[in-house]
Amino acid sequence: MGEAVPRLDAARQREVVRALRAFLPERALLWREEDTRPYECDGLTAYRALPMVVALPETEAQVERILRTCSAMQVPVVPRGAGTGLSGGALPRPDAVLLSMAKFMRIRRLDPKARIAVVEPGVRNLAISEAAASWGLYYAPDPSSQIACTIGGNVAENSGGVHCLKYGLTVHNVLALRGFTMAGEPIALGSEALDSPGYDLLALAIGSEGLLVVVTEVTVKLLPKPQAARVVMASFDDVEKAGEAVAAVIAAGIVPAGLEMMDRPATRAAEDFVHAGYDTEAAAILLCEADGTPEEVEEEIARIEAVLKGAGATRLTVSRDEAERLRFWSGRKAAFPAVGRISPDYYCMDGTIPRKKLGEVLRFIGELEKKYGLRCPNVFHAGDGNLHPLILYDANDPEELRRTEQFAAEVLEKCVEVGGTITGEHGVGVEKIDQMCVQFGAEELETFHAIKRAFDPQGLLNPGKAVPTLARCAEYGRMHVRGGALPHPELPRF
């Protein structure tokens, strides 16, 4: 795949271990293959590589020294949170130190009056809401992996969740970050006030996929937990009708707390797995949630029901109590593992499209299912246009993996073509790096590289991820072409 894969050099490994052992306790350093093997991949299991060394620092001082040491020795560093990422952002390299932030698991401060929590990056997303619950507060972004994923990883990926149309992404809910640059220089971005002087470096750092800074502390906003929430489950006999119903809800001036769609194959897989009470005969189901005060929820639910009925829903069910609401959501939250049960492997895509293009894109995916002979159920964060087609395949069949990758590439490029993006919330990582060449032109990519150099002049922090080299794009042969002129005609093309 393009750039040469570096190999593990035993002599270099000894040298790096010796340098890190000078200040790290024995338990904080792994390098024997049986110890490093568990770190060979993140949530994108199709890509694997053994790290040269795994470092598990416990203090900020240790993080700083690891970075200074690696900078001095020119050793790349790959930061890692819980390893639940779906784009290979934490994929190790045999020539690099894998920097696991797993031991940074303390909630340093929770100030209910100021509605903030100051946490270490290894704290799990859900653990923040659990800690805040006794004050009636919670941390809003809720990616499906929230029981396992960490806030540090959320910051790296700018994670979303099922409630982000109303409550925003990670970037909207983080007030401040502390950490280090690759050179080991301390850096503090944002503050507990609502803004900070100078450029908005916080916006740049969040979603930077571990390429700009290593984060050691995150200050998040906590919100008062809505008193009540109810969800409407609606069935449609046609996927496009369901898509139009979504537009109708938004056009009616409603911003639902959550608005999710699943097609029939996804609904059936989820229903078989968790028995959420889904209508498995529907072509698609919508889950539309209202939250707020009990009065507000009643008002909004009535409006949502009216709009969905008008948009042709064939069946409407409103959750009667909290248990039923959670049951309706359980199927959606378990959609990925549910699909995992009906196929040896699945490949999850993450394009975002303008909502009105949903029908066109789903039809396109249906054609690709025939073209590649692979099934592809769809779950859709319909409120914000974020589509997760799940291609079912068998990783033990290299030919099937190859077809899967081509299928995925075509879907992502279609997302760009209809005015969307190749990744809504999972990040580019190694997985979608070639599609970056389709989404961006050479000058934007050059700007990204220049931004990277401003933070990390040696290019040692998580290299090779998120932003492709221009040479790689030339090789991929799908360079974004503006005005018919190929950028960098001097580069060889294959």
Partner 1 sequence: MLDTRGHAGVVAYEPSELVVTARCGTPLAELERLLVEHGQMLAFEPPHFGPGATVGGCVAAGLSGPRRASTGAVRDFVLGVRVLDGRGRELSFGGRVMKNVAGYDVARFLAGSMGTLALLLEVSLKVLPRPPAERSLRLEMDETSALEAMNRWGCEPLPISATAWAAGVLTVRLSGAQAAVRAAAAKIGGEPLAEDEARRFWEAVREQTDPFFSGDAPLWRLSVPSVASPIALAGRQLIEWGGALRWWKTAAPAAEVRAAAAKAGGHATLFRAAEKSGGAFAPLSPELEKLHRALKKVFDPAGILGPGRMYPEF
Q: Name residues whose C-beta falls within 8 Å of residue 213's C-beta, 6 or more positions apart in sequence.
A: 177, 179, 180, 181, 187, 189, 205, 455, 461
Tokens 């989820």 belong to 270
Identify which of residues 240 and 394 has a Cβ nearer to partner 1 in the complex. 240
Q: Pick out residues in 368-427 that bind partner 1 (CB under 8 A).
A: 381, 383-386, 419-427
Residues between 432 and 461 that touch partner 1 (CB under 8 A): 432, 436, 439-441, 443-444, 447-448, 450-451, 453-455
Structural tokens at position 158: 């700018």
Cα separation of 93 and 8, whole Å?
8
Cβ proximity to partner 1, 77 vs 259, nearer residue = 259
Is the Cβ of residue 57 or residue 424 nearer to partner 1 in the bound state? 424
| Nearest approach, Cβ of residue 416 and partner 1 (Å) | 9
Does 310 contact partner 1 by CB under 8 A? no
Residues 206-265 that bind partner 1 (CB under 8 A): 206-208, 212, 224-227, 247-248, 250-251, 253-255
- Pick the binder of partner 1 from 4, 10, 22, 194 (CB under 8 A): 194
Q: Where are the alpha helices (DSSP H) in 373-426?
A: 398-417
In whole angstroms, how close is the CB of 344 to partner 1 at the nearest point? 28
Measured CA to CA, the distance from residue 12 to residue 32 in angstroms comes to: 14
Backbone φ and ψ of 113, nearest 5°: -70, -40
Residues in contact with partner 1, shown as a per-residue x/- string from 332 to 371 under the rule CB under 8 A: --------------------xxxxx---------------
Is the Cβ of residue 103 or residue 449 nearer to partner 1 in the bound state? 449
114 forms part of the interface with partner 1 (CB under 8 A): yes
- Asked whether position 133 contacts partner 1 by CB under 8 A, the answer is no
Q: Which residues contact 272 (CB under 8 A, 6 or more apart)?
A: 338, 341, 342
Among 392, 467, 473, 479, binds partner 1 (CB under 8 A): 467
Our CA dihedral for 474, 476, 480, 483, rounded to 10 degrees, sits at 50
d(CA 196, CA 189): 8
| Piece in contact with partner 1 (CB under 8 A), picked from 9-17, 32-40, 48-56, 107-115 | 107-115
- Residue 392 Cβ vs partner 1, minimum distance, rounded to whole Å: 24
Question: How large is the angle between the packed helices 239-251 and 358-372, nearest 10 degrees?
Answer: 150
Q: Binding segment for partner 1 among 32-40, 60-68, 182-190, 306-314 (CB under 8 A)?
A: 182-190
Q: Which is it for strands 284-292 and 258-263: parallel, antiparallel or unpaired?
A: antiparallel
Find out whether 95 and 6 touch, Cβ atoms under 8 Å: yes
62 binds partner 1 (CB under 8 A): no
According to the binding rule CB under 8 A, does residue 201 interact with partner 1? yes
Q: Is the separation of the CB atoms in 389 and 454 below 8 Å?
A: no
Which residue is associated with the tokens 């959550």? 258
Among 45, 59, 191, 458, binds partner 1 (CB under 8 A): 191
Q: Do residues 91 and 79 lie in contact, with contact meaning Cβ atoms separated by under 8 Å?
A: no
